[in-house]
Structure 1
Amino acid sequence: MGNFNFYGFWGTWLSETLTYFPISFLTLTAVLSAIDPNLEDAGLSMGASPGRVFRTVTLPLSTPGIANSILLLFAGSLADFATPLVLGGHSFPVLPTQAYLQITGLYDLRGGAALSFLLLLPAMAVYFLQRFWVGKKSYVTITGKAGSRSSYKRTGRFSEGILLAICLSLAAFILYLCSIIFWGALVKVWGVDNSLTLENFRYVFTHGRKALTDTLKIAAVATPLGGLMAVVVGFLVQRKTFRGNRVMEFVSMLNYALPGTAVGIAYVIAFNERPILLTGTMTILVAAYMFRYQAAGIRSVVASLHQIDRSMEEASASLGAGAARTFFRVTLPLIVPALLMGMRYLFIHCMTAISATIFLVSVRWSLLTTRILECMTELQFAQACAFSVVLILLVFVATALMVGLTRLATRRLSGEGGPT
């Protein structure tokens, strides 16, 4: 252990695992909440063990969520440049960092674009593998006849103990990392003068106030717009058949699969001249966040729509309801958990992303993440930690609100929230 070096492959792998596993968690939560409990109860009532019910009922019905999670995780990790840039170093170079250095260090825009283009090849391979995996099978679990959860025992105490131990260990490790940041924000000079002070937070709310308000404004605008776009695109690619359907689905993943630096530079080149001059405005930041991070919402909506029986929409149409009324009264209420999951993911990235927007910020619009990067480059580690603490608290508060909305929507969907 004395020769263990956190920099390189292992540090990058661990950091990206902790960074991206919530994407899979959020996607699978929306999918699992929509599974008809009667299916699992039927297996248990026939004498099957909880483990067998999980393997033969729950896991197969979760395939759309698992497949879409893998696609999102692979594309996100493939395009990440910030983590490998900090932890990878020279011992573990990856394409996104090489493309970034090629553009910013050697000013070779074409070379950086060529390296970025190579990332599309594995992203396309995983996309088509996901399409083949899900295939033409039926994963319908929402038919309008869902029941409430019964009192059957789901798992044994031993299994529950193992799962609880794993979850607690992971949570403890994440809290340990967060505690280091909190400690760094409360000391005068990290590693030199560890006396406690609140001066770092005073610096954030004075010198960093503009970055704080600008980041919240951009996230507040981009989140609902991105959620709306995710619903529209997800519904079109999963429910409608038209020429270019699959092309549209794949194109919706392109911004997510490309390195953020390449996306940011592309926005600067595309919108730096009239007639569409957006450089330095809030619009270009909102657009960059929406079109890059809406992919999680789209994949979550697609996975949820896989579970909804088309006969419910057909019944509404046969009773005389138009397409718009059927969508708003039948389809949309059933995919609300997936929609809120996508909005949570988009909001979090609006608050924390930097790779795609590092080239788009200006004196008129500042971001918390760019201020953190500035503090790090100027060796103001305590101030960087204070900015990070404020950012973490804001994300937690917003996430808690969206979790409450998701649970409310899930209860109403399952019939536990009263008559609908």
Structure 2
Amino acid sequence: MLESLKNLLPQKVSTSPTDLNTHGRDESYPIQNPPLAVVFAENLSDIQAALGWARAHRVAVIPFGAGTSLEGHVIPQGPAISLDVSRMNRVLEVRPEDFLAVVEPGLTRKALNEALKGTGLFFPVDPGADASLGGMAATNASGTTTVRYGGMRQNVLALQVVLANGEVLELGRGVRKSSAGYNLKDLFIGSEGTLGIITCLTLKLHPIPEHIHTLRVFFENLNATAQAAYAVMASGLPVARLELVDEVGMLAINRYLGQSYPEKPALFVEFHSSTQEALEAESSLALELMQEAGAIRIDTARTQEERTAQWEARHQAYWALVNLFPGKAYLATDTAVPISKMPDLVAYSSHLLRELGLSGNILGHVGDGNFHTLVVCEPGDPRAEVFSERLVEHTLALGGTCTGEHGVGLRKKKYLPQEHGPALGWMRQIKQLFDPQSLLNPGKIFD
């Protein structure tokens, strides 16, 4: 059977153990399961050919970009081929006058911004990892800049997708607004490869800010840090980034990156503006609010190198924690609540760690009401799952969601009935409509 696939796509199919193992895991999910083969698609025709083969042999197809997902999205749940689009990595068109770019799904966000140098524009969605743009759309990724620029759903204008039956759909247009029919484009953003394969994206670009002010603000305790973050957001200030890192995270960053930050809970804050006057006024008011909330130290990143180091520290916080607790297992949560409920959830998360006798840290995009708790435990320790379940229950009671940006994958699907109720049944019907043979990433989002 696999020989027929190799004959169909010469030099593009691998069954080497290295490739199979790489495509049978993601960054953090504890279970690994290699696919039958990896198809390295290079164009639309390759994808249609692979899907045709999969229909004929009743074999599942799992889209794969950079493999940076966290919830088991790319791990096969049975016989499957991994459809790797990393070779489809071209910038097809840049239209600075329209503030948009057309790209292939395997292009990474860093590669896109490198290609945009000289245009005065950038693509702002920054999940930390150098993820593929197709994968970012498939999970509706966001990150540190979402509070100002939005996540993938707000920054994808149009998609080209291939359905399980091989049909190509063009969804959306390269315009900022449209009222023409059902919005199928947004249905595919966040669908995690269960409805179709993304083959082309039209992305919204933004002007590079002329003036940037970046701060590190330290507090005596976690509650004061969360309350300060809420005060800044409640003020209506146009914050570009607002990130929380607790004292355990700061300790880990210092050891992992050789920094000397105070080992106290901190907010990493950034403002973007077109004028120096506006920037100074906005950041000054934010500082007043944070000082009223109990700030004990304020540092300013004054150069591009210092700003880069600050955000590199934030992006490396996960690996810093892993390095701080070698040989342990890790469970990352991804809850999000209405912004007014964020301090409540941060306090509850911290209390729950202590109650269950667990180690871990709290960090995340508190400007969006979204944060992560990285629980550290021995492999197989049931307390980690108890922590996750109780945190999600409290989150849902506050009107929040079990996943703000990582997606459902394998880990979060058990929470969807409680979060969505009868609407989950309609989601299943949509899946059945687009993929009646259940060939596309089966077992994700739904059992």
Give TM-score scaled by structure 2 length. Answer: 0.25
Q: Which of these two proteins has the greater Rg computed from alpha carbons?
A: 1
Larger RCO (CA under 8 A, 6+ residues apart): 1
TM norm structure 1: 0.26
